[in-house]
Amino acid sequence: MKREDFLKKLEEMLISQIKIKINHGINHDLSNFSNQQQTNDVFSEKWSKYSHSQEKELLYEFQKKWYLELYGFDSEESLRGFLKNCDVIFDAGCGLGYKAAWFAQLAPHALIIGMDFSDSVKQASLVYQDISNLFFIQGDIANTNFKDNSFSYVSCDQVIMHTEDPEVTFIELARICKKPRGQVACYFYAKKALPRELLDDYFRSACTNMTNEELWAMSQQLTELGKRLSELNISFEAPDIPQLGIKGGTYDIQRFIYWNFIKCFWNVELGKETSIVTNYDWYSPSNARRFSENEVREIVKRNNLVVDFFHIEDACYSGRFINSSSELSK
């Protein structure tokens, strides 16, 4: 199919028509909610800065490998085989668009649409304008402007927590997912130990009054803290403290502080710039909701979806969820 054919298919899915120039269109670029707009501005700043990083390709490869693990695919070929049966794919909260481009390359027969509320979609549309089956729309993934049952596969990876009301956003993602046999893949931040949760909420609120320069400086300082703690190379046996949500066991000192008290991300393999951006990503946005496993499963159940695959790790819960009327495809 040619770009014109994919564009026609996209236009048929829209409730209200928007102007698409080559591979980019705008539903809306401003939010009526102050916290959401602040979050959008933070991510516009983040992606604008990181788009020039020499480290981003390393992050992209890391994220692709993690994506396979998060959503139950043994390999890239396994994902390719899954996408072979999808004709329209939605990357909800696409950022710089590298995962949407990945989907487009793995499924050249399918229409791929990436959407983000930040200005990152403008950069993505320029970088990937030669991929004929890939389009980017700036807009709210909680109000997509797509008709019911539009997408075979809806992927919302590491994004839903940053929307104004994640439950409402999930309802929208389920609405636009095809019935039957459509699937929604979604990642949810996991709640951490009580000291970390209390500090995160208090500190995030304080961060809303900081300038971008102050936020970047703080992110560099947190990265340096994580680096110095990691370089101590000290492990110890922590006691189990259930009332605080602190799990007992052997910890590296940096990871113990990271999981239980304050996010001070450092990854020598991904690099300094990526570590700084990761810390900026955490404390700068107003919207960054965390969930328990029961809360995630309840959200899925309330939307009449069933679990096809569910993943648990300290950082998150993630999975692929299908309509209860569809056939499980394990």
Q: What would the pLDDT profile of 277-290 be if each residue is shown by its tens digit?
A: 999 999 999 999 99
All structural domains of the chain with their residue ranges: 3-191+290-323, 194-283
Read off the pLDDT band of 323 (50, 70, 90).
confident
Own/partner pairs for 66-73, CB < 8 Å, 24+ apart?
67/99, 67/157, 69/311, 70/157, 70/187, 70/311, 70/316, 70/318, 71/155, 71/185, 71/309, 71/311, 71/318, 71/319, 71/320, 72/308, 72/309, 72/311, 72/319, 72/320
Q: What is the mean pLDDT of residues 179-203?
A: 96
Q: For residues 326 and 179, is the Cβ–Cβ distance under 8 A?
A: yes
Half-sphere exposure of 180 (CA within 13 A, CB side): 7
pLDDT tens track for 202-251: 999 999 899 999 999 999 999 999 999 999 999 999 999 999 999 999 99
Q: pLDDT averaged over the chain?
A: 96
Condensed to tens digits (0 to 9), the pLDDT of residues 115-170 reads 999 999 999 999 999 999 999 999 999 999 999 999 999 999 999 999 999 999 99
Judged against a pLDDT cut of 80, whether residue 293 lies above it is answered with yes
Above 90 in pLDDT, residue 324? Answer: no
Neighbours of 136 (CB within 10 A): 31
DSSP letter string, 163-219: SS-HHHHHHHHHHHB-TTT-EEEEEEEBP--HHHHHHHHHHHHHHTTS-HHHHHHHH
**What are the φ and ψ backbone dihedral angles of 55, each rounded to 5 degrees?**
-95, -5
- Percent of the chain past pLDDT 70, that is, above it, reads 98
* Matching residue, tokens 């991904």: 270
Per-residue pLDDT, averaged over 98-102, amounts to 98
**329: confidence class by pLDDT, cuts 50, 70, 90:** very low
pLDDT of residue 181: 87
The residue behind tokens 């009054």 is 209
Residue 79's alpha-carbon distances to 10, 66, 106, 145, 326, in angstroms, are 23, 12, 8, 27, 19
pLDDT value of position 325: 58
Distance CA 254, CA 6 (A): 48
Q: What is the pLDDT at residue 130? A: 97
- 10 Å Cβ neighbour count for 32? 9
Mean pLDDT of 295-301: 98
Residues 6+ apart with CB under 8 A from 271: 55, 58
- Tokens 């970088």 sit at which residue? 127
Does pLDDT of 328 surpass 50?
A: no
**What average pLDDT does this structure show over 38-47?**
96
- Please give the backbone phi and psi of residue 159, each rounded to the nearest 5 degrees, phi first: -130, -40
pLDDT of residue 222: 98
Interacting residues of 185 by C-beta distance below 8 A, sequence separation 6+: 71, 153, 154, 155, 156, 157, 318, 319, 320, 321
Q: Compute the average pLDDT of residues 248-259.
A: 98
CATH topology of domain 3-191+290-323: Rossmann fold (3.40.50)
User: In this predicted model, what pLDDT tens digit does every residue of 54-92 receive, in sequence order?
Assistant: 999 999 999 999 999 999 999 999 999 999 999 999 999
User: Which residues make Cβ contacts (< 8 Å) with residue 253, sequence separation at least 6?
Assistant: 229, 232, 234, 235, 236
Say how many C-beta atoms besides its own lie within 10 A of residue 234's C-beta: 12
In angstroms, rounded to a whole number, what is the distance separating the alpha carbons of residues 221 and 198?
A: 20
